[in-house]
Structure 1
Amino acid sequence: MSTATSSTFGERLRNVGRQQFVWAIVAIVLLLVINVIKDPTYLSISYSDNLGGLRGNLVDILRASAPILMIATGMALVIATGGIDLSIGSAMVIAGAVAMEFLSASGSSSLGTAGLALLLALLVAGVLGVVNGVLVSVVGLQPFISTLIMMLAGRGIAKVITGGQNTTATSEPFRWIANGYVVGLPVVVLLAVAIVAVVGLIVRRSALGLMIEAIGIDAEAARLAGVNKRAIIFTVYVAAAVLGGMAGVFATASVMTVDVSNTGNQMELDAILAVVIGGTSLAGGKFSIRGAAVGAVLIATLDKTVVFLGVPSSATPAFKAAVIVILFLIQSPWLHTQLAKLRSRRTTTPTTAEVTA
């Protein structure tokens, strides 16, 4: 290999390393390797005639990542505008509560009833997003405060809807959303990937993504450039809530039960972590839907690894925190700068012959 070719390859490799989500992929691979060391059959996948699709640990990880994919995508859009949405977990439990109560009250297991339950759940979740959007874009409240209010109020609303009790329903069409298979693959995974792909295409193939980034970088400059700041901010909060509602449908349809205390609980933290791991800055501006998706898969992989390794529940938060901190350190621009300086010093240090000459 020539020197020029080697230099070009090295530069390309460094450019790839600068993409933060690449390190998240590396972390996923390392976690899988750790699991394989404990159990060499960990990555095995088989076809189940009873289920009508593939089964295995990788399939379980992808299935578990579906709700996180939804909320991470919505969170990425909100954070890109310089905001935050702490109420996504509440959107999940509200959507789940509405769906389960509707199905339980209807007593029908028809496809039409399941479809109505899905639409009603997303509509009510969207209303939560409308309230957030109005408070932030029109009233002018700080996103942290307004969404914190809705986080508390939303779970309270879910308890009112269900009478404070966990609600269970029976509907095979609705259950199929989370547990069914199409061409051997879980429906929930296919739906999540399709939704994320559509959102990604909309924000990257239109001016919407540029306007969102412009608001996050400098809201006043974006306004002067003709960007409708209020409309964009309102839209991203509604979108985040609807995606949170879809995540709630995924979470409740898998067991056909909504737990008003635990469904969606602290999921906003996983969403924020997934977004930041994927390379989106909490300060707003440039964002990455692709990175948020990779971050969501990493969070799901980490959760499954914790259980598989038998980490005590009391030590689970510390284990997850340690892995994420290490990943952030690897992604740190400061660390990359220091390594670049070290390489530069090595290449510029004169040899003994050069000093003698």
Structure 2
Amino acid sequence: MNALLLRTVSSRLFWPVVMLLVLVLINVIAFPDFLTVTVKDGHLFGSIVDILRNGAPTLIIAVGMTLVIATRGIDLSVGAVAAISGAVACSILLGSSDPGNPATVAVAVIVALVISLVLGVWNGFLVSVIGIQPIIATLILMTAGRGVAMLITEGQILTVDSAPFKELGSGFWFGIPVAVVIGAVIFAVAALLTRRTALGMLIESVGINPEASRQAGVRARVLLFTVYAFCALSAGIAGLILTANQTAADANNTGLFIELDAILAVVIGGTSLAGGRYSLAGTLVGALVIQTLVTTVYTVGIPPIVTMVFKAAVVTAVCLLQSPTTNAAFAQLRQRLAARTARVKEAAAS
């Protein structure tokens, strides 16, 4: 029993799940109705539903970020890509004669996502072909992307009046928020493609040893193009959700610091920034921890300006508990417990 407990504690998901449960418990103590979910007009409402809806953009980007980090990379440009995606969609809707037409909204969404995909291919080109370090390659777009979004919006906040577009951010499908459905679909697709096929193993091999994987016949360049393009596409989708929720494109604030939240979610979930093995389930838990933490800050009346301090505290605590030193200590304890159990059995047998 003790050995099983130690193995559970050593799991990468154990401490993130514990942290999530602690945050939920704090909210339940502060507001006993925190876990209550009600149905109004066939739609689900409640604090838990709000956490899932507000955390969906972070989760969507974090899924793409997980695959990028698994290849020993990083993408700092996702916030800028989200802003560009929202700016493109809103500019197309405002330039049309009927922004409420679903066909017009579909064109705006498709064009925004295609541009996001192109930006991801650009990042992949800089990293895999030119050989620029990922942090520098994506920093270029992170710096220039906000300026591009400002050029698209001409420095203005573009407010749109389009019911079909607003549906992406605040609408419901089958009683569930649209953002939650989109996030769940993207997570499921990524999990199926990387865990039910050889794609996940190939991504991990590139992250563990790029040279060895290349000599083994793995097309690392194609994989890098793929993961950076997927990450940017995820950022574009998240940008559309954020913009639709606000019914306005704000080049300065849409997706601001969301790249940091996505990276934090990946790290909390147990994926190493050194590349290699990754955990999409851990990323899901990490994204929930981040959003629940933000909700907790508002729930208990802490000034929102210090939210980043609490995020840093939570990440520090989880990282310390997941550190190699802590894991080694648990491993030694497990070995000692196993040795003691063996001695007890030998003594009983004799």
Common fold: TM-score over 0.5: yes
1:246 is aligned, of 227, 237, 245, to 237
Query: Structure 1 residue 340: deviation in Å?
Result: 4.6
Query: Structure 1 residue 251: deviation in Å?
Result: 0.6
Contact 1:20 1:277 in 2 (8 A): no
Contact 2:120 2:233 in 1 (8 A): yes
Counterpart code for 1:333: P
Contact 1:19 1:279 in 2 (8 A): no
User: What residue is the counterpart of 2:246 in the other structure?
Assistant: 255
- Counterpart secondary structure, 1:116: helix
TM-score by length of 1: 0.91
User: What residue is the counterpart of 2:40 in the other structure?
Assistant: 48
In 2, distance between residues paired with 1:18 and 1:339?
7
2:65 is aligned, of 51, 56, 75, to 75
Contact 2:30 2:299 in 1 (8 A): no
Is 1:298 aligned to 2:292, yes or no? no
In 2, distance between residues paired with 1:315 and 1:188?
27
In 2, distance between residues paired with 1:65 and 1:316?
15
- Counterpart secondary structure, 2:197: coil
Residue by residue, what CA displacement relative to the aligned partner does 1:90-136 show, whole Å, maximum 9, x if unpaired?
Answer: 11000010111111111421111111111111111111111111111
Query: Structure 1 residue 344: deviation in Å?
Result: 5.8
- Aligned-pair identity in percent equals 48
Query: Structure 1 residue 345: deviation in Å?
Result: 6.0
Query: Structure 1 residue 53: deviation in Å?
Result: 0.4
Q: How many residues align?
A: 342
Q: Structure 2: 5+ residue runs without aligned partners?
A: none
1:16 is aligned, of 8, 15, 19, to 8
Query: Structure 1 residue 16: deviation in Å?
Result: 3.2
In 2, distance between residues paired with 1:207 and 1:343?
33
In 2, distance between residues paired with 1:218 and 1:340?
26
In 2, distance between residues paired with 1:258 and 1:47?
31
Is 1:222 aligned to 2:226, yes or no? no
User: What residue is the counterpart of 1:87 in the other structure?
Assistant: 77
Distance change in 2, residues 1:35/1:219 (3 Å) = same
- Counterpart secondary structure, 1:315: helix
- Counterpart secondary structure, 2:213: helix
Residue by residue, what CA displacement relative to the aligned partner does 1:186-231 show, whole Å, maximum 9, x if unpaired?
Answer: 1210111011101110111112111111110000000000011111
User: What residue is the counterpart of 1:206 in the other structure?
Assistant: 197
In 2, distance between residues paired with 1:190 and 1:11?
39
Residue by residue, what CA displacement relative to the aligned partner does 1:40-95 show, whole Å, maximum 9, x if unpaired?
Answer: 1121111122xx40111000000011101111011011111111100011110000
Query: Structure 1 residue 301: deviation in Å?
Result: 0.8
User: What residue is the counterpart of 1:60 in the other structure?
Assistant: 50
In 2, distance between residues paired with 1:275 and 1:246?
18
Q: Structure 1: 5+ residue runs without aligned partners?
A: 1-5
CA RMSD of superposed structures (Å)? 2.0
